[in-house]
Amino acid sequence: MLGPRQSLSPFSLVELLVVIGIMAILMSILLPVTTKIRENGRRVACSANLRQLGTAMHLYMQEYDQSMCPHDDADSGNPEWRWDTIYLNLAPYYSDNHDILKCPKDRSWTRPASGATGRWWSYGFNHACGYGGAMMTTDFVDPPGTAVFFDSDESDGGVEDDGNRPYQNIASKAYRRHLQGLNVMFFDGHVQWRRPSSLTNAQFTLAQD
């Protein structure tokens, strides 16, 4: 025969509160872990984009006698050098799949469309690699130590050593998309996640570091 207590719900209020408390603790432990896993996934997807961009760049250079596509964010009037043509020049070499120019953490990216003026690249270009004129493969004397494309939100894509868009700004928040760091593609095609403080000025010149 059941006693008065046994006739009630199998869980008492105290037991229920204990279970809820344990679940809350478990959630507080697991949430940062799952957030970090998700962030890592985005970082890996972004580095895959940059790797494809590097492949496109080298395919372009092979076809253009080892010459890099030039870039001119001052928009000097030379249509071959316009600030957005670096991406247009490379597009045939990444099969016009512009999605590879979108970092998964970049919320301001817009799909390129006829007449659209939005920024359709999540990656900045190191001006030392071809500002206002094309550099040749032989100009890159330190391929693994020369940054080319990297996480950035510059509207004209170019990142240079001047007062407006200095590469030293990499330390600013706009570039730190991934776990307080950014992905950087170097001229030899390898991609690394770097903390801004670990990048040096020499990595933004073509000279041997």
Q: Residues interacting with Zn ion, by CB under 5 A?
A: 46, 103, 151, 177
CB of 170 to Zn ion, least distance (A): 13
Q: How far apart are CA 100 and CA 75, in angstroms?
A: 24
Output 71 or 177, the one with its CB closest to Zn ion.
177
Output 46 or 199, the one with its CB closest to Zn ion.
46
Question: Residue 116: how many CA atoms within 13 Å on its side-chain side?
Answer: 9
Output 73 or 151, the one with its CB closest to Zn ion.
151
Distant-in-sequence contacts of 19-24, Cβ < 8 A, 24+ apart? none
Output 48 or 74, the one with its CB closest to Zn ion.
48
Question: At residue 165, what are phi and psi to the nearest 5 degrees?
Answer: -130, 55
CB of 8 to Zn ion, least distance (A): 56
CB of 137 to Zn ion, least distance (A): 26
Output 72 or 106, the one with its CB closest to Zn ion.
106
Q: Are 167 and 126 in contact (CB under 8 A)?
A: yes
Output 67 or 174, the one with its CB closest to Zn ion.
174
CB of 106 to Zn ion, least distance (A): 7
| Sheet strands side by side (includes 147-151) | 158-159, 123-126, 147-151, 182-186, 191-194
DSSP label at residue 155: T
Place of tokens 């003026």: 117
CA-to-CA separations, 148 to 13, 103, 130, 131, 140, in angstroms, rounded: 62, 16, 10, 12, 11
Burial label, 203 (beta-carbon count in 10 A; 0-12, 13-18, 19+): buried
CB of 151 to Zn ion, least distance (A): 4
